[in-house]
Amino acid sequence: MAVGITRRGAMKALAATTAIGALGAPTIARAADPTMVTVVKIIGVPWFNLLDQGLTAAGKDLNITTSMIGPAHVDPAQQVGEVEDLIARKVDVIGVVPLDVKVLSPVLKRAQDAGIIVITQEGPNQDNRTWDVEMIDSKLFGETQIKALAEEMGEEGEYIILVGTLTTPLHNAWADAATAYQLANYPKMKLATSRFPGADEVDTSEQVAREALQAYPDLRGIVAFGSNGPIGCGNVIRQRHLQKKVAIVGTAIPSQVQSLLMAGAVRKAFLWSPKDAGYAMVAVANLTLKKAKFETGMDIPGLGKANVDVDKRIISLNRIITVDKANVAQLAASGL
């Protein structure tokens, strides 16, 4: 009897791992695809909806099961909780667009200790990651936007800066670069006060704009680093018919900012493709899973050649897109 049970068990095991083809040859069943879950700064906003499209497209192309999660409102503690849940689920790769690199550092260390690959985006100074993927040069991105604001302001007057949060890594790096460039090159311009948080949410950036206009009656410019910042500020400027007095530039999606650009409430917008960023995160994860050698000039599938800083664990491309009245409709029609 024991022999019969063993034989049946062996036959079941064999059936679970092989299939008989048309010619009777056994075929080994393919292992389940690796899983990658990306934790973003805030769920449900256009920027990260586009990033998710890139994650999904790359997942299909590269046989990785992808999904995206994030807090409903900007909250670093919720990002930590979501990463902890992913560690418990034993996913293969965790992607992160960090809100606070210090808060995330311990939980990402636990993820790496559990053998999970960690891929960040907008996190060049995030500890405990496998690779960080950057789509633009941060210093150049900040300088480009303050140059545009200076041109719109006639290189003089007071301006303010909005960032997503005061701990969001790249937003504050861009703001630092912009401020330094202004101080060195536009002495007649003045940062009216320290930077404001809120540029990740339309309602919050609207409130910041209203309060700033009241507190600083001579305000002539706003630069908003965070894809909803120009939208919220632009809404207020358009509602109050201040297009000729206050210039706004910032990071924004063409389809979202189009009406404000055409109305003059936002003068210029800058971005990289969130779709490309999502695709790049998955492509880098796939290369890491395959133990590929990373070096400058290597090809990132779907994106082309990249710069690689092995010591800093940064993979970067340079894909700044400038958006204005002349090209916003075309960019929006392309899916951005």
Q: How confident is the model at residue 301 (pLDDT cuts 50, 70, 90)?
A: confident
* pLDDT value for 249: 98
Coil, strand or helix at 299: strand
* Residue 153: φ, ψ to 5°: -90, 0
CA distances from 25 to 18, 29, 63, 279 (A): 9, 13, 25, 37
Q: Which CATH class is domain 138-271?
A: alpha beta
- The reported pTM is 0.83
pLDDT digits (tens, 9 = 90+) for 154-204: 999 999 999 999 999 899 999 999 999 999 999 999 999 999 999 999 999
Q: Which residues contact 143 (CB under 8 A, 6 or more apart)?
A: 177, 178, 181
Average pLDDT over residues 273-293: 96
Q: How confident is the model at residue 63 (pLDDT cuts 50, 70, 90)?
A: very high
Q: How confident is the model at residue 324 (pLDDT cuts 50, 70, 90)?
A: very high
Q: Which residues pair with 247 in a beta bridge?
A: 221
Q: How confident is the model at residue 1 (pLDDT cuts 50, 70, 90)?
A: very low
Q: Do domains 35-135+274-317 and 138-271 have the same CATH topology?
A: yes
Q: Which CATH class is domain 35-135+274-317?
A: alpha beta
Contact 170, 138 (CB under 8 A): yes
Is a pLDDT exceeding 60 seen at residue 23?
no
Contact 134, 319 (CB under 8 A): no
Where exactly are the structural domains of the chain?
35-135+274-317, 138-271
pLDDT digits (tens, 9 = 90+) for 126-151: 999 999 999 998 999 999 999 999 99
Average predicted confidence (pLDDT) for the chain: 91
Q: How confident is the model at residue 318 (pLDDT cuts 50, 70, 90)?
A: confident
CA distances from 21 to 8, 15, 25, 31, 149 (A): 22, 13, 5, 18, 66
Coil, strand or helix at 19: strand
Average pLDDT over residues 315-333: 94
49's tokens = 């909806």
pLDDT digits (tens, 9 = 90+) for 237-272: 999 999 999 999 999 999 999 999 999 999 999 999
> Which of 209-217's residues contact partners 24+ apart within 8 Å by CB, and which partners?
209/233, 209/235, 209/236, 209/237, 210/236, 212/160, 213/240, 213/242, 213/246, 216/158, 216/160, 216/192
- Percentage of residues in the chain having pLDDT higher than 70: 91
* pLDDT value for 4: 39
